[in-house]
Structure 1
């Protein structure tokens, strides 16, 4: 399977990028780098892709396992290298689950399947960064 995007310069530091979904997104820098802050920052967008990829896996697996949660979010903190080209060297992914009577064994299994088997973006990150993960439960 091949994915194709087209990214077009829109002036100054802004670009518009297509997506196979048909939805476009804007990429820009902040004023400190000459942009207008009218779009996603490229490196932060990579972290969103990581969270989205793993999150989709987890939600799909929890549904199949009949392990309902009231809410779920993923927080990612990443450290860049000091030297150019700067890239993420350490990435910490935190999975937060909220609900009543959470099925922790199934949640842990779903998260681990995403991390170890299904999330292609996670595997891409492993090629250049040390990845750590944790799971937090918030029961009502």
Structure 2
């Protein structure tokens, strides 16, 4: 896997993935784009969501929507690393099984989500979920 990051101006940078997709990041407290730390947090949520949706689809659960609300705490001193991350999955569907959602979230957290598992070596990562009927 490869990527590049190029300085644009001020504290803005454009990051380009090896697959050719680009995103602007802002080191000036996210004024013109997500900050690098916000990107890490969003990557953890995206990675876990991919797992949860895939697992629920394989279990033939009638899911229409999957959102994950992420909250994080950072150290007070430099480097201001994440100390805690919480992921709250909101699954919407018709008759979605709580057992299947719980299993999907647990499998993502413990086995499949590379980003979350990598962060979990130095950050307290927690998960919960809610199911909404549509």
TM-score where L is the length of structure 2:
0.93
Structure ID, larger Rg:
1
Instruction: Report the Cα distance in structure 1 between the residues aligned to 2:124 and 2:82, rounded to whole angstroms.
Output: 9
Q: CA deviation at 1:29?
A: 3.4
CA distance in 1, matches of 2:125, 2:95: 29
Calculate the TM-score normalised by the size of structure 1: 0.89
Deviation at 1:133, TM superposition (A): 1.0
> Which structure 2 residue ranges, 5 or more long, are not aligned?
none
What residue is the counterpart of 1:10 in the other structure? 8
Q: Which runs of 5+ in 1 are unaligned?
A: none
More strand by share: 2
* Alignment RMSD: 1.4
CA deviation profile, 1:70-101 (whole Å, cap 9, x unmatched) = 21100110000001110110111111111221
- Correspondent of 1:46 among 40, 43, 66: 40
Distance between the aligned counterparts of 1:62 and 1:101, measured in 2?
Answer: 12
Partner of 2:74: 80
Match of 1:104 in 2: 98
Q: Once structures 1 and 2 are overlaid, which stretch shifts more, 128-137 or 80-89?
A: 128-137
2:19 equivalent to 1:25: no
